Structure 1
C-alpha cells in the first residue's frame, strides 16, 4: 500500500489551486528561500530590531573611503556584563534570519553562560548591500576575505559600544559557508575571537565536487537500499526519452516543465533540476529549521520511489518532482537554460537573483568551485552534468574571463590562504552530519591539529547541531550538543 505521507501529497497535488510562478530555489548546493511574512511577524512579536553598522567597502585599499550600512542584531537578555562571553553568529550566502536571535542551540548555551548574542549579515546578502547594484564590477567587493574583515571591524565596534573588556571572550558560530568563516575567523584573527564552532563547513575548495552525489546516494541507501536502484532505473528511462523529440515531449508533460526542452543546455538544466530535488531533501533532511517546516524528507522521497503501486520508476520520479513543486507553490518546473542565465545576469537588488543566487554563484566562480557534477560512477543519477556545465555558467553570467583557468587559480589561492585540509587554527570544533553531503569536504575523523576537535553525528544532515532541539532528535545529536557545551565551558576558562 502507498504510505500515508505519499497519499497525502498525491491528494494535495490533485486539489491545490493556489500555485505561484516557478523559481530557482536550489543553486550550487544552497537553498534560497526566505519566508518574509513569517519572519516579519516573528520580529514584531519578539521585539527584534534590525540594526545597521557603518562598514568599510574595501578593507584592503586605504584609498577607498566609502562605507555602507551592514545589518546586524543583538540579544542581551542573558548577558552578564562583567564576565559574560560574546557569541557571534556569522551570516552567510542568503538573507539572514533574525529568528536566530531567539531560537537555536546557541541561545540555550547563551542562557547557560550569560552570553551576549550578536549576529552579522554577510555583505551583499539580504539587506546588507554595499553597492547600488550587483554588477560584476561591484561584486569584486564580495569575497570571504572581505567578509572576515567585516567581522573583525564589527567585533571592535561591538566591543566599544558595549564597553567590553578582555574578560568578555568571543566565540563565533556558523553553519555551512558561515561554518567555514567561523573557523577562518579564528585562524586569521585569533586576537579577536577566542574560539569557534564550525558546523557543516566545507574546508577545502575544489572545482569538481564529485563526492557530493556519492554522499547523497549513501544517505538514500541508509534509509532504503532499493531507493537508489529505482532512481537509477528512472534516470535510465529519462536518458532514453531524451534521445527523441517525442520522448522529450513526454518528459515535459510528466515533469510539468515551464518550457520545452530545446537545447543540450536545457537537457543539462533539466537533469540538474530533477537531481536537485534529491540533493535538497538529503542536505536538509529533518533539520528542525526555524522559519519554514517541511515534511519533505529522505523518508518521503524513498517511500515514493519504492511504491510500485504509483507506477514505474519514471512515474515515481515525476511524483517526487510534483511533491517539490507543490511544496514551494510552483506551477511548473523551470528548465530553460536561457531563462536561468537571464535571471542570474540581473544586477538589480529588486530581482529574484538578489535572494542570493547571483552572489553565491559569483563566489563559486571566483573562490570555491564546489560544483556538484555527476562525474563519479558511485551514484544513481547518470553522467549528464559535468563540472564544465557549471564553469560555463560562470562565463555566461559574468563574462568570458570567468573560465576554468581563473577558477583553478582561485581555488588554489583559497586553499593557500586558509590551509584547506592543513588548517592550523586552535580552539575550534568541527561538527558534521553523516547524511550531509558537505561533510565530504570537512573534518569528520582525525582533527586537523591537536588544538581542534571533530564531532561526526550519525544520522543527521546539514547544520543539525545549530537548530533547536527536538524530542525526535537522535541520541547522537544530543550527545554532540552536549560535547559542544562542554567545549565552550572549557574554552571560557582558558
Structure 2
C-alpha cells in the first residue's frame, strides 16, 4: 500500500521587513543594485569554492545548459494555440542519476541568470544530496516573453495561475529530457513571490513535487495590506540589527515634518534640499517625492546588509547623530548618501514620468519587470503598500512536515544566498534546519515511494 506523502512545505518568515512590492523609483533602483550585488557575490563564491565541484573545466566549473521550450500562452483555453518560449537552465554536474533528487529553483518578477543553478543555498544542498539542478524563468520576465507580450491585450496572460501551470509543463519536459523516474524526488525552492509559487506548486500538484522550501513567502495575500509601517518601525527599533527607539522616533518625526511642509504647499526648499530633478507639481508629485524618500528607509530595512553601504545600523547612526543637525538635516544627508551610492544627479519625482514608464510596452530581457509586476500585484494580490512579506507568511509549524523557521536579525530571503563569514548565528542555524528538513523529506520519499 502506497502512503500519501506528507504535506512538506517549509515556510520561512524573516523578522526584518520583507518586501518585493511596488514603491517609488528609488526602491526599484535599489532592488536592481541588490540583484547585481547578489550576482557578484555568487561569482566570488564560485571562484573561491569551485574546487569543491566534482566536475571541473578550464574556467573552474562547467557552464550550465541554457534552453528555451514552447509553453502555451493560455493553459486554460484550448482554443488559444499561441505559445511563447520559456527560458530555463540545467546543471547536471552534481547529479547522481539513478536516485538523485531534482531541485527546482523558481524564478519570479525579474530575469534569471545561470547563477540560479550555480550558487546559493539550494546549490550547496544539491552538492550534498547529489541533486539535478534546474531553474525556470517566470513567464513575461527576462527573455521568457513574446515581443508583443506587454501590450494591454497580451499581458492578461500574466498570472500566478498560468505560472503554476508552466511549472507543471516544465516538470513533464525535464522528466522526459532526462528520463526521470519516481526515484528522482522533486523539491522546489523559491523566495518572496517565487516562495509563494513554491508553496502553491506543492499544494496544487502534490503528485509532481514532494516538498517545497518557501522563503519569505507572502502566501496569505491580503487586499490593501497596511501592516508594513509597523514592521519597519519594529525593525528600526531592533537593537539586534543596529536599530533603537531613538532611531525610530527620529524617522517618525522627520516624516511628520515633511507632511506639514507639503500641506503648506511651499515645496521649493524640499526640491533643493532633496535634489529633485524638477519642481513638484501637485499632489501626485508630492506622493512620488515622499515615496522616494520612504524607499530609502524601507529599502534599507528590506535589504539590510545586502550591499556594503546599506544597513539599518548605518541608517540609524545618521538619524540619531545630533551633531549633524536636526532630524530634517539628517534625512537630507541620508538622501545625499543614497544618491551618491546610486550615482544619481537628481531624483525623478514626476508622477507623469512614472506613468509613462509603466505604459511602455518595450520588452527588456533583463532586470526587474516594473510594468509586469505592477500589473500582476494589482490584478491578483492587492499589494498596494509595499508590505513586509513575513507578516503575510506562515510563522508557526503547521505539522511535523510543515515547518516554519523564523530568522531574526537578517534580511529578505537571506537564507537563499551563498554563505558568508559575516552571516549571523541565526542565519546559519536556519540553513542547518532547512538542510535537516530536506534530509528528512528525502529519506521519507525513499522509504514510502510517492
Q: Same fold (TM over 0.5)?
A: yes
CA contact (8 A) 1:286 1:297 kept: yes
Deviation at 1:48, TM superposition (A): 4.2
1:172 corresponds in structure 2 to 188
Instruction: Summarize the alignment of residues 23-422 of structure 1 with structure 2, pairs less than 5 Å apart.
Output: 24-26=25-27, 31-33=31-33, 35=36, 47-222=63-238, 223-246=243-266, 248-287=267-306, 293-350=307-364, 355-372=368-385
Count the aligned residue pairs: 400
Q: Give the direction of change, closer, same or farther, for the CA distance of 1:58–1:131 in structure 2 (3 Å limit).
A: farther
Deviation at 1:115, TM superposition (A): 0.4
Secondary structure class of the residue paired with 1:459: coil
Deviation at 1:200, TM superposition (A): 0.1
Deviation at 1:302, TM superposition (A): 0.9
Q: Give the direction of change, closer, same or farther, for the CA distance of 1:178–1:171 in structure 2 (3 Å limit).
A: same
CA contact (8 A) 2:142 2:364 kept: no
Q: Give the direction of change, closer, same or farther, for the CA distance of 1:30–1:94 in structure 2 (3 Å limit).
A: farther
Query: For 1:415-464, what per-residue CA distance to the aligned partner results, in whole angstroms no more than 9, with x for missing partners?
Result: xxxxxxxxxxxxxxxxxxxxx9211111112x345541111111122111
CA distance in structure 1 between the partners assigned to 2:199 and 2:435 by the alignment? 17
CA distance in structure 1 between the partners assigned to 2:184 and 2:119 by the alignment? 22
Deviation at 1:239, TM superposition (A): 2.0
Unaligned runs of 5+ in 1: 1-22, 288-292, 374-435
Query: For 1:81-140, what per-residue CA distance to the aligned partner results, in whole angstroms no more than 9, with x for missing partners?
Result: 000000000000111232232211111100000001111000011111145240121111
CA distance in structure 1 between the partners assigned to 2:127 and 2:365 by the alignment? 39
CA distance in structure 2 between the partners assigned to 1:351 and 1:131 by the alignment? 10
Residue number among 427, 430, 445 corresponding to 1:477 in the alignment:
427
Query: For 1:383-434, what per-residue CA distance to the aligned partner results, in whole angstroms no more than 9, with x for missing partners?
Result: xxxxxxxxxxxxxxxxxxxxxxxxxxxxxxxxxxxxxxxxxxxxxxxxxxxx
CA distance in structure 1 between the partners assigned to 2:399 and 2:381 by the alignment? 23
Q: Give the direction of change, closer, same or farther, for the CA distance of 1:25–1:68 in structure 2 (3 Å limit).
A: farther
Q: Which has the higher contact order (CA 8 A, sep 6+)?
A: 2
CA distance in structure 2 between the partners assigned to 1:87 and 1:479 by the alignment? 21
TM-score (norm 2): 0.84
Deviation at 1:71, TM superposition (A): 0.8
CA contact (8 A) 1:171 1:197 kept: yes
2:395 corresponds in structure 1 to 444
Cα RMSD (Å) of the superposition? 2.5
CA contact (8 A) 2:26 2:296 kept: no
Which shows bigger deviation, 361-370 or 176-185?
361-370
1:492 and 2:435 equivalent?
A: no
Q: Give the direction of change, closer, same or farther, for the CA distance of 1:130–1:30 in structure 2 (3 Å limit).
A: farther
2:17 corresponds in structure 1 to none
CA distance in structure 1 between the partners assigned to 2:375 and 2:358 by the alignment? 10
Unaligned runs of 5+ in 2: 1-23, 47-57, 445-450
CA distance in structure 1 between the partners assigned to 2:264 and 2:90 by the alignment? 58
CA distance in structure 1 between the partners assigned to 2:208 and 2:179 by the alignment? 15
CA distance in structure 2 between the partners assigned to 1:307 and 1:142 by the alignment? 47
2:412 corresponds in structure 1 to 462
Deviation at 1:26, TM superposition (A): 2.2
CA contact (8 A) 2:300 2:311 kept: yes
2:55 corresponds in structure 1 to none
1:425 corresponds in structure 2 to none
Secondary structure class of the residue paired with 1:348: coil
Deviation at 1:24, TM superposition (A): 2.5
CA contact (8 A) 1:53 1:69 kept: yes
Secondary structure class of the residue paired with 2:103: strand
CA distance in structure 1 between the partners assigned to 2:257 and 2:228 by the alignment? 23
Q: Give the direction of change, closer, same or farther, for the CA distance of 1:295–1:78 in structure 2 (3 Å limit).
A: same
CA distance in structure 2 between the partners assigned to 1:76 and 1:203 by the alignment? 31
Query: For 1:225-272, what per-residue CA distance to the aligned partner results, in whole angstroms no more than 9, with x for missing partners?
Result: 2111111221122123223454x1100111101121111111111111
Query: For 1:138-161, what per-residue CA distance to the aligned partner results, in whole angstroms no more than 9, with x for missing partners?
Result: 111100010011111011111110
CA distance in structure 1 between the partners assigned to 2:190 and 2:404 by the alignment? 15
